[in-house]
A and B are shown apart, each in its own frame.
Chain A
Amino acid sequence: MATRRPAAALLVIVALAAVLAAARMADALSVTVTDTECIHEFVPYEGDTVSGNFVVVDHDIFWSSDHPGIDLEVTSPGGNTVHTLKGKSGDKFEFKAPRGGMYKFCFHNPYGAPETVSFYIHVGHIPNEHNLAKDEHLDPINVKIAELKEALESVTAEQKYLKAREARHRHTNESTRKRVMFYTMAEYLAFMAASALQVVYIRRLFSKNVAYNRV
């Protein structure tokens, strides 16, 4: 390291910093969507792969069977729609950014009930071989490290997706259990009430103060 020329060391460090800064670590956040919620994310370079996922974690649905779904629309800084998903209760998306800039991810809830959406967005950048050719001091190992980092990020993204889906599944199960108990108890009570009504009615048919009673 000490024998390397300062300029070369500089370039290596700058390249590594680019690798470091380009692939950023985000976190899976949840936001409550009542009508429309927009999240903006900055994509530094054109050609970056923007990947992400979202899962609608149900809000205490009791009477209906499943969630109707929400819409996602991704808008590029130029105003064009890059990606659209309609009526989904959870999905993964991935696209190559046509240009750098601020991208808008808008969730739209067509139904009145507010829903909680857990989303994760990741912008990945790999310094390609074109940069390598320009400067022979750039170590190809940096490209490999960036690729490895991207692969690990995709594993992490998948895990966050699975975790959010598991939470949603758990909500559905809890709701199912509650509904089973409620409907069963209601069934028993309705049953006993119907039987009691039957008995009362038959007794009344045979009671003394009915006109057509011959007895």
Chain B
Amino acid sequence: MAARLAGSLLPLLLLLAATFPAGALRFDLLSGHTKCISDDIKVGAMAVGKYHIVAPDDGGSLHSSSSSQQQHQLPDSHRISLRVTSPYGNSLHYSENVQSGNFAFTATEAGDYLACFWAPDHRPPATIAFELDWRSGVSAKDWGTVAKKGQVDMMELELKKLEDTIGSIHEEIFYLRGREEEMQDLNRRTNSRMAWLGFLSLAICLSVAGLQLWHLKNFFERKKLL
């Protein structure tokens, strides 16, 4: 039974290994330039990121049979540096002149987390293509360990994933509702402030006119013209 399970898991693992890393986006980076990618993460959410340099051809290089050869053909000088910063400016991850790497953190501040890549200057200027797989929240959970830990059925795992997704959708709706309420509040305050300022403008207008008249009347009386 254990051998059969192992035998049936092996092609699954092979299939998973052969598929493209899920959710990875490929960016082009000109040498000497910086590219920053940001993500809005909530407090307490986990975020994991993986990045690696790929050959800048337009095919799915990881899928071609000669992918390993292409990997060797990547010039060693093609290296990128990365710094991940929190919304308040703390540096969470820093790696310099690497070809691949990963980072993980749990968000302690809510806001935009910035991942900035830069490449050192090359003569002649080269374009370095790199792939970044950055997930946060629900998609950051490691389903592989969950499956191994509980000896779960594949279908059950899929349904667990769906359950988690629904939970995150629920939380997101609450968050959006709260934000909408804040915005309505802000709009109402701006509206009342504009009304106030309108009245104040009228009051200033009348008082300045009154002051003018009073001052000029005094001036003319002093000059014995009135």
Q: Which residues of A contact B (CB under 8 A)?
A: 1-2, 6, 9-10, 12-14, 16-21, 24-32, 38-42, 44, 77, 101-102, 104, 116, 118, 121, 141-142, 145, 148-149, 152-153, 155-156, 159, 162-163, 166-167, 169-170, 173, 176-177, 180, 184, 187-188, 191-192, 195, 198-199, 202-203, 206, 215
Contact B139 A173 (CB under 8 A): no
Please report the C-alpha to C-alpha distance between residue A173 and residue B187 in the assembled complex, in whole angstroms.
Answer: 7
> Could you say which of A21, A163, A170, A191 has the most chain B C-beta atoms within 10 Å of its C-beta?
A21
Q: Roughly how many angstroms separate A19 CA and B155 CA in the complex, as a whole number?
A: 10
Distance to closest chain A CB from B2 (angstroms): 11
Binary A-proximity of B72-103 (CB < 8 A = 1, otherwise 0): 00000000000000000000000000000000
B24 touches which one: A42, A141, A148, A202 (CB < 8 A)? A42
Please determine whether B38 and A30 come into contact, CB atoms closer than 8 angstroms.
yes
Question: CB-nearest residue of chain B relative to A122?
Answer: B23
* B 1-21 binary contact with A (CB < 8 Å = 1; else 0): 100100111011001100110
Other-chain contact of B25, A41, A177, A203 (Cβ < 8 Å): A41
B121 within 8 A of A: no
| CB within 8 Å for A24 and B23 given contacts A30-B40, A163-B176 | yes
Q: Taking the complex as formed, is B110 at the interface, i.e. its CB lies under 8 A from any CB of chain A?
A: no
User: Known: A13-B8, A13-B12, A149-B162. Is A215-B225 also a contact (CB below 8 A)?
Assistant: yes
Neighbouring A residues of B126 by C-beta, 8 Å: none
Query: Is A191 a contact partner of B208 (Cβ separation < 8 A)?
Result: yes
Q: Which residues of B contact A24 (CB under 8 A)?
A: 22-23
Total interface residues in chain B, CB < 8 Å: 76
- For the complex with contacts A13-B11, A163-B40, 12 further pairs of A-B residues with Cβ separation under 8 Å are A2-B1, A17-B154, A27-B136, A38-B27, A40-B25, A101-B59, A149-B162, A152-B169, A180-B194, A192-B204, A199-B212, A215-B223
Give B155's nearest chain A residue, CB to CB: A16
Q: Tell me, yes or no, whether B118 is within 8 Å of chain A by CB.
A: no
B216 on interface, CB distance cutoff 8 Å: yes
Please state if B135 and A169 are interface contacts (CB–CB under 8 Å): no
* 15 residue pairs A–B, Cβ–Cβ below 8 Å: A6-B8, A14-B12, A18-B15, A27-B135, A30-B40, A31-B35, A40-B27, A77-B58, A104-B58, A148-B162, A152-B165, A173-B183, A173-B190, A177-B190, A191-B205
Which of A191, A195, A206 contacts B219 (CB under 8 A)?
A206
A176 with B158: in contact, given A14-B12, A30-B37 (CB under 8 Å)?
A: no
Cβ-closest 3 pairs across A and B: A24-B22, A40-B26, A25-B139
A118 to B37, CA, bound (A): 10
A63 CB to nearest B CB, Å: 19
B39 and A39 contacting across the interface, CB-CB below 8 Å: no
Q: Does B108 contact A (CB under 8 A)?
A: no
